[in-house]
A and B are shown apart, each in its own frame.
Chain A
């Protein structure tokens, strides 16, 4: 009786073992997977599709050794009517080159036809959103920008170089909430130049909000709005509101957008926009971005 019991228990256990033999590799595999997952930091990638949301900077940086050639076009306001072919007869553009110095530091230069402006910026990524071994809820970047208005003045008006220089300092705080949706907040300080616009206060504070919604694998809907603090805002200046769609194909990204600003540098579109959405002073524009990898990664 006792022997029978032992034998039955033995057979039962052996049966268990036989089925578990197929399971042992699965168990070890999931144990190894767990171990490596615990030591891994998962960074949020592609919070936005490109380094710009619409006109303004996004938290995306160019990877190291990548050159980005950007051509941005803005047509005239739709409100200019049929005679101007609803704005398409007028166009301003900015030609820019951006470059990734490291994976977290990028630099860019550009020239805009609007007010013959030269501009340069740096973008430093300070924090990177991550999960896993390190948890970080947001990505944070710092962007200083400088711009020079080189438009010729009437002889009677004497301007110094320093009167033509403006600077903008932005903090970009972004979170990728899901594969479909990301949001960014941009506290901004602007020191305006003396000749471009009728500024009463030279120092302007603004706060921007931008978002990305992924419509399909390669198509995104982006929006951007900058609110200027009322007591620093220039008379006649409006807050800029822009919508854009970007379409990515390989190394190219096309961005199509509608905005009420003509300027393409931070200082002009944040603090010197005069167009009004409610007066259909809306402009159609598009950007083309082409990236080149200058040195191979490996």
Chain B
């Protein structure tokens, strides 16, 4: 009897512990920006999913490439068909850890600069990256943001010579997540 009871208590404790430290959002905003002398292209995706474990610092992001919206319909089609190849590689993901998670106190308002290391997967290619990010705690809500650059060629995305001066090789990625507590 006491065995069952102990098990029950143990499991309950674990369950609450797991849930208490998880944050998530289904509307993370990811945008990318390509700047050249001839044209600037900005695309937005506001349907990315992110999960953050505030205890362990594990952070994950996942998005559908088809959910990026461009100012021109033709750009959106070309992005999906010729560059990111959404049919073959429907998702882009990130899985990593916030290195200095220990300094964050969810109970206190504040802005924390942190370092995130992890694996970024775009176009079927996974690369390890380390990027600076900011975590803001405001009245118990948690939000995170980051901005960094990636090279298209690192992810096997080839920009044809004919559009070289219209599409940048160096793409700026901006991430904004407003988390909810699980």
Q: Which A residues form the contact surface with B (CB < 8 A)?
A: 2, 5-6, 9-10, 13-14, 17, 20-22, 24-26, 28-29, 32-33, 35-36, 42, 45-46, 63-64, 66, 179, 217-218, 248-251, 291, 293, 296-298
Q: Quick one: given A6-B3, A28-B22, A296-B72, are A36 and B81 in contact (CB under 8 Å)?
A: no
Across the interface, do A46 and B60 meet the contact criterion of CB distance under 8 Å? no
Please give me the residue from chain A that is nearest to B11 by CB atom.
Answer: A13
Across the interface, do B73 and A32 meet the contact criterion of CB distance under 8 Å? no
Assembly CA distance A2 to B82 (angstroms) = 65
Q: Quick one: given A13-B11, A17-B14, A28-B182, are A46 and B77 in contact (CB under 8 Å)?
A: yes
Please give me the residue from chain A that is nearest to B80 by CB atom.
Answer: A45
Say how far A208's CB is from chain B's closest CB, in angstroms.
25
Say how far B165's CB is from chain A's closest CB, in angstroms.
11
Residues of chain B with a CB closer than 8 A to A36's CB: 26, 47, 49
Contact of B71 among A25, A46, A251, A297 (CB under 8 A): A297
Across the interface, do B71 and A32 meet the contact criterion of CB distance under 8 Å? no
Assembly CA distance A291 to B162 (angstroms) = 17
Across the interface, do A28 and B51 meet the contact criterion of CB distance under 8 Å? yes
Across the interface, do B51 and A63 meet the contact criterion of CB distance under 8 Å? no
Contact of A297 among B3, B10, B69, B82 (CB under 8 A): B69
Contact of B59 among A17, A25, A35 (CB under 8 A): A25
A-B residue pairs in contact (CB < 8 Å), sample of 29: A2-B2, A2-B3, A10-B6, A13-B10, A13-B14, A22-B58, A24-B18, A25-B53, A25-B58, A29-B24, A29-B62, A33-B62, A35-B26, A36-B49, A45-B80, A45-B81, A46-B77, A46-B80, A217-B82, A248-B78, A250-B74, A250-B162, A250-B163, A250-B166, A251-B74, A293-B71, A293-B73, A296-B71, A296-B72
Contact of A24 among B10, B53, B77 (CB under 8 A): B53
Please give me the residue from chain A that is nearest to B85 by CB atom.
Answer: A217
Q: Mark B36-73, 1 if CB is under 8 A from A, else 0.
A: 00000000000101111101101110100010011111
Q: Is the interface of B mostly helix, strand, loop or mixed?
A: mixed
Assembly CA distance A20 to B7 (angstroms) = 17
Say how far A113's CB is from chain B's closest CB, in angstroms.
29
Assembly CA distance A36 to B91 (angstroms) = 13
Q: Quick one: given A21-B56, A217-B82, are A179 and B87 in contact (CB under 8 Å)?
A: yes
Q: Mark B73-99, 1 if CB is under 8 A from A, else 0.
A: 110011011100101100000010000
Residues of chain B with a CB closer than 8 A to A17's CB: 14, 18
Say how far A43's CB is from chain B's closest CB, in angstroms.
9
Contact of B49 among A14, A32, A45 (CB under 8 A): A32
Across the interface, do A25 and B60 meet the contact criterion of CB distance under 8 Å? yes
Say how far A40's CB is from chain B's closest CB, in angstroms.
8
Residue picked from A6, A24, A45, A218, most chain B C-beta under 10 Å: A24
Residues of chain A with a CB closer than 8 A to B62's CB: 29, 33
B102 at the interface (CB under 8 A from A): no
Say how far A222's CB is from chain B's closest CB, in angstroms.
16
Please give me the residue from chain B that is nearest to A217 by CB atom.
Answer: B82
Across the interface, do A22 and B60 meet the contact criterion of CB distance under 8 Å? no
Assembly CA distance A65 to B44 (angstroms) = 20
Given contacts A17-B18, A25-B22, A29-B24, 6 further A-B contacts (CB under 8 A): A2-B3, A5-B3, A24-B53, A32-B51, A45-B66, A297-B72
Residues of chain A with a CB closer than 8 A to B72's CB: 293, 296-297
Say how far B41's CB is from chain A's closest CB, in angstroms.
12
Across the interface, do A6 and B6 meet the contact criterion of CB distance under 8 Å? yes
B160 at the interface (CB under 8 A from A): yes
Q: Mark B139-182, 1 if CB is under 8 A from A, else 0.
A: 00000000000000000000010110010000000000000001
Assembly CA distance A22 to B58 (angstroms) = 7
Residues of chain A with a CB closer than 8 A to B58's CB: 22, 25
Q: Quick one: given A218-B82, A249-B162, are A21 and B53 in contact (CB under 8 Å)?
A: yes
